Structure 1
Amino acid sequence: MASDPLDRIRKLCLALPEATERLSHGEPTWFVRDKKVFVSYANQHHDDRVGIWAAAGEGVQTELIATDPERYYRPPYVGHRGWIGIYLDVPADWDRIEELIEDAYRQIAPKKLLAQLDAETSDGK
């Protein structure tokens, strides 16, 4: 891994409406309205790998792991709820990671914030 991807993950997460960051279980974690987690950083949390855990829609975890097990995994604690683990110590597809972070946010955020995100997106932000 050439550099620590935390700053890039932080920027992507905090760009979303009312997203906040604080430590949870010793790792940087991003919340919607400081209440519900949508992404968590995993710096060698249960192994020697660096990644993120992200909320995901039904079937996404199974599809991504089947398609690319070198990049995606079932994270501990939240994997049984369909969350996806994304390794960051392999060459990263940052466009795809950005999509997965936004999708994670969409799984957790209330409708009002989703409408705000959609308005910002349609305005070209």
Structure 2
Amino acid sequence: MTMAGVQMKSEQSVDMLERVRKICSPLLEVEEVIDGFGHNVMKVRGKTFIMMGEHEGTPSLSLKSDKEAQSLLLQQGGYVRTPYIGQHGWVSLDTAVGPNWDELSELVKEAYLRAAPKKLVKQVLGQE
């Protein structure tokens, strides 16, 4: 996994980024880049599955999802529809609620599996 420079400065943001990096570490071919907006972005073979940023010291975390999973997450609470890309199924952590790391760990892996090519998906699922 390639690491990029940290744009996130608050302790809470850096902690969230480190936790996400740890969740992504066993996943194959994950690359971390800083996008044009200064977000830390996790990609697999060029496809984005996580976007993280910070606004006024508060971390943000958005995950690739599908519309069905998005609907379920929005109903359960703790997540909001991601601005600008929510129509594609993306969800963001509701920063007022804070992360449930057990659940988030699974959602990060699901986001990766949605973005990864089938060959990588088979390899990753074969490791579990």
TM-score, normalised to structure 1, is 0.82
Q: Does 1:32 align with 2:44?
A: yes
Cα gap change, 1:28 to 1:55, in 2 (>3 Å): same
Q: Find the partner of 2:68 among 11, 34, 59.
A: 59
Cα gap change, 1:119 to 1:95, in 2 (>3 Å): same
Displacement of 1:14 in angstroms is 3.3
CA distance in 2, matches of 1:22, 1:117: 21
Q: Does 1:19 align with 2:26?
A: no
SS class of match (1:51)? strand
SS class of match (2:93)? strand
Among the aligned pairs, what percent are the same residue?
Answer: 31
CA distance in 1, matches of 2:96, 2:21: 16
Cα gap change, 1:26 to 1:15, in 2 (>3 Å): same
Cα gap change, 1:49 to 1:20, in 2 (>3 Å): same
1:20-62 Cα shifts (integer Å, max 9, x gaps): 10101201100002x1101010312xx8742211111231112
- Contact 1:14–1:21 (CA under 8 A) maintained in structure 2: no
Displacement of 1:103 in angstroms is 0.6
Unaligned runs of 5+ in 2: 1-9
CA distance in 2, matches of 1:92, 1:55: 16
Q: CA RMSD in A?
A: 2.1
Instruction: Number of aligned residue pairs: give it.
Output: 116
Q: Does 1:9 align with 2:16?
A: no
Q: Find the partner of 1:98 among 99, 105, 121.
A: 105
Unaligned runs of 5+ in 1: none
CA distance in 2, matches of 1:90, 1:58: 22
- Contact 2:42–2:50 (CA under 8 A) maintained in structure 1: yes
TM-score, normalised to structure 2, is 0.80
